[in-house]
Chain A
Amino acid sequence: MAALLLADDLFLCSCDDSTGRSRLSERATGLGLASAVIGELLLLDKVGIQHGEITVLDDHPPSDPLAHSVLDQLHRERDVRAVRAWLRYLSRDVHELVGQRLVRSGHVRPVRARWRIRARVVYQPVDVNAAAWPAARLATRLIGRQPLDDHDLLLAGLALAIGLEPHILIDTSVKTRQHLRHLLGDVPPSFRALMAETEAAVGDAVLSARG
């Protein structure tokens, strides 16, 4: 199984394995994916996060075009530092961008959503097993008490932050969940900051009176 990028994995976790229907609200998914794209740059040591602010550490472009363009924007607009502002900004079209990236890599195909008033594109997984893999991988490793690499730590942390816990930890015991929380308690500060900002942004989106 070829390794996917962080936002791709989170995208697959956030939608139904066969229909592609989103498991969360548009806003929560958008904020989570925005965070995952920033997470990809974090994993490549391109950016750092401290006190809720993001700094570009290395502006040499990464190989993935989407990560490249986001790093470009972060660098161009380095006066805008608040992670929250970037999450809100990127969340507006990141679903589309990550969806397209998965189309290009052949993991999903765009289909017209039925039973919707607004015509929307749903990205339907091509292969149910491949779509279920990221969540299954996390569950297996956690149940086996195996260590998670940085990629999977961020994936699990962001999934929890946007409210995917019931979907990625199906059939796992309380002990397993505690194990995950224990692992997440030990992550690098920049990871923890990104997860916390994401959880807070999702909470604020629910609380904002506008819906």
Chain B
Amino acid sequence: MHGKRSSTGYSVVSAALANERLGTVPIAFFVLSAAAPLTAIGGIVPTGYATTGVIGIPLAFLLVGVVLAVFSVGYNAMARRISNAGAFYAYVSHGLGKPLGVSAAWVALLSYNLLQLGLYGAFGAVTAPLLNPLLGTQLPWWVYAFASWVIVTVLGLLRVDVNSRVLSILLCLEATLILVFDVADLAHPASGHISFATLMPDQLFVPGIGALLAIAVTGFVGFEAAPVFAEEARDARRTVPAATYLCLGVIALLYSFSSWAMTVATGPDKIAQFAGSNGAETVFVLAAQRLGPAFTDIGHALFATSLIAAMISYHNSVARYTFALGRERVLPAWFGRTSRSGAPKYGSLFQSALGLVVITAYAILQLDPLVQLFYWLGTSGGFGILVLLGTTSFAVIGYFRLHPVETFWSGFAAPALSLLAMIGIVELVVANFATLLGVEPDSPLRWIFPGSFAVVAVLGIGWALILRVARPDIYRGIGLGANSVTGRRMSDEMSLQSGQFRQVGA
């Protein structure tokens, strides 16, 4: 009965739990595969060129990459203190108070929903022209969108998070294919010489710059997921930041390089027109001219799987967010229930119901799936995430004003810089929203999309204030996620555990 104490060197419990933890590269793979590179390069970038007519996208990716790297300094410092799967709203709750926390949660729900719903449009638009000739049919895009909806709904309920190994292989194939396309583009430039025009800084200082930045931010969405793994990371202090910066670097360089290569292939002055007439086929048409049809077939298949992977990833994000809020009782408690498979059942069903409504509405109203569904909803969702990033930077400053900081840089300077940059970007995006959407400057849509976030944010604050008066017990648990029931943050436990792990190593 009186065995050796673990402090003499080895703890079976700690070692067993540590064994299940994730390192930098696996986390980076999880994050990047959700970002789905081919969806960005094949879908967002060409549609962006076509809709905005502005060509500074490659530079915008680099610029936004740097801003997000600065953002991540404070973000990761916060992740070391507070571990919560709904990172944004947990951080905002702790840094700026619970009303803004609920507000952030609702903005996040709207943003991820928009990003997810938009993908149905892209999937329909991409697969219909490919499969119709093969099947000898004339089915409209929304039939294919419904098919993907069924897949997402079933997998969401069964909780088949697509196997991480499958995702990693797909990610590597996608990245390889994109690079092959890029090299082919550069080997056969439009006018016989490689043009660096789109990489010139003056391309950024144009009237549509806000639109460019919004497109770039949309491309990066997904990188913010790394801290979700904090609790499962081998060493939350090092593994998670390393994974974050690795992802940012890969996305910034790959996307910037590829969107530049595209303009080299068509000629910078022709990209908008070329992308406009070829839509989501842009990269594949370019590849077909240079590499032959076999590559385009592979590309199409990967594009479809990339879209499905991204759909499932965003679907699960929404379902988990709803679940966490249900556990906190901020949303009805039944959102906090699970299915027999352990899926957040009602969160998943809720997101699927939205998908059904949106696909049906677009089909009935005969709207364009690529531009009006995928691109509009996607970039608006990206804008919502941008607003959240800014708010989170502010929250980091607020949190470390009251708690001991590690360094001045991570606790104040970096988040302040990032906050200023985000405010600037948000202002530019709002000013250029008509350009971003490709609508007339006086179109009400330019206000409806950004305005919906403001409405949801205000409603969130209002709901939190109602809870404060009517249900103080619920109000107390806001920002604690599944741990609202114990009234303690998980980080309390984590610090305990990392203490144990240090002892083991010592």
Contact = CB atoms under 8 A, between A and B. Distances in A.
Contact of A59 (B1, B85, B320, B338): B1
B3 A75 contact: yes
A97 B492 CA distance: 30
Given A82-B497, A211-B159, A27 B342 contact: yes
B337 A89 contact: no
A88 interface: yes
Given A25-B338, A76-B4, A203 B232 contact: no
Contacts of B496: 53, 81-82, 85
B1 A209 contact: no
B482 A209 contact: no
B236 to A, nearest CB: 13
Contacts of B497: 82, 85
A13 to B, nearest CB: 14
Nearest to B496: A82
B88 to A, nearest CB: 14
Contacts of A197: 486
B482 A207 contact: yes
Contacts of A64: none
Given A25-B340, A75-B1, A211-B159, A80 B485 contact: no
Given A200-B483, A211-B159, A23 B340 contact: yes
A85 B6 CA distance: 15
Interface residues of A, number: 46
Interface string B4-43: 1111000111101100001000000010000000000000
A60 B1 CA distance: 8
* Interface SS of B by simple majority: helix
A207 B320 contact: yes
Contacts of A112: none
A206 B5 contact: no
A77 B6 CA distance: 5
A84 B483 CA distance: 11
Contacts of A202: 338, 482
A193 B493 CA distance: 14
B182 interface: no
A119 B23 CA distance: 29
B232 A79 contact: no
Given A72-B3, A210-B161, 12 more contacts: A52-B492, A76-B6, A77-B6, A89-B16, A200-B486, A203-B324, A203-B481, A203-B482, A204-B231, A209-B85, A209-B225, A209-B232
Which 8 A-B pairs give the minimum distances between C-beta atoms?
Answer: A203-B482, A25-B342, A76-B3, A207-B85, A211-B161, A196-B486, A79-B6, A200-B483
29 contacts: A23-B340, A24-B338, A24-B340, A25-B159, A25-B341, A25-B342, A52-B492, A53-B496, A59-B1, A72-B3, A79-B5, A79-B7, A79-B500, A80-B13, A85-B13, A85-B500, A88-B17, A199-B482, A200-B482, A200-B486, A202-B482, A203-B323, A203-B327, A204-B483, A205-B342, A206-B320, A206-B482, A209-B320, A211-B161
